[in-house]
Amino acid sequence: MKELREIAERNIRELLDLALKIFHKDRELARRYVDMAFRIAMKTRTRIPKEYKRLVCRKCRNLLIPGVNCRVRLQPRREPHVVVTCLNCGRIVRYLIKRRRKSSMEPLTETKS
C-alpha cells in the first residue's frame, strides 16, 4: 500500500507539473491533466501536495494563474487575508495571513533618556 501511494504521489506531481507547463498552449489539456491527478489522488487516497492544491480551483478544476484566469486581492480589514477569485466559475477562496507574534524579549515601548 505504501509503494502504491508513493507511485501515485509521483504521478500526481508529474501531471500537475505538465499542466503548469502546457497551460498557455492548451488550457483544455492542462485541465484534463489536473482532473487526472485529482482522480488518482481520490482513488489511492493520497493528498494533493500543498504547493499544488492552492493552484487549482476546487469547483471547476482549472489551474489558477493570477492575471490570466484568477484575481488575487489583499484585504487588510478584520483579519488580514488574501482573496482569490476564479474568473471561470466565480468561486471565491480566502486564505488568512498569519501575523508575526512579538517575542517576549522585545520591550513594549522605548524610553528616551
pLDDT in tens, 54-77: 899 989 989 999 999 999 999 888
Residue 43 domain-assigned (yes or no): yes
What per-residue confidence (pLDDT) applies to 105? 57
CATH number at residue 24: 1.20.5.420
The predicted structure's pLDDT at residue 107: 54
CA distance 105 to 90: 46
In a domain, 106, yes or no: no
**Structure letter (DSSP) for residue 68:** T
Q: Is residue 54 part of a domain?
A: yes
The answer to the question of residue 22 being in a domain is yes
In this structure, the dihedral spanned by the alpha carbons of residues 38, 88, 23 and 11, taken in order and rounded to 10 degrees, is: 0
113 falls within a domain: no
Q: Is the predicted pLDDT of residue 21 greater than 90, yes or no?
A: yes
* pLDDT band at 84; cut points 50, 70, 90: very high
Domain count, the chain: 1
Mean pLDDT (the chain) is: 87
Q: What residue numbers bound the domain in which 47 lies?
A: 2-96
Q: How much is the pLDDT for 109? A: 56
Position 104 in a domain: no
Please give the model's pTM, rounded to 2 decimal places: 0.76
Give a yes or no: residue 101 inside a domain. Answer: no
Residue 80 lies in a domain: yes
Helices (DSSP H) in 1-113: which residue ranges? 2-22, 27-44, 50-53
Q: What is the pLDDT of residue 2?
A: 85
Bridge partners (DSSP) of residue 85 are 71, 92
Instruction: Kindly state the average pLDDT of the residues 70-97.
Output: 91
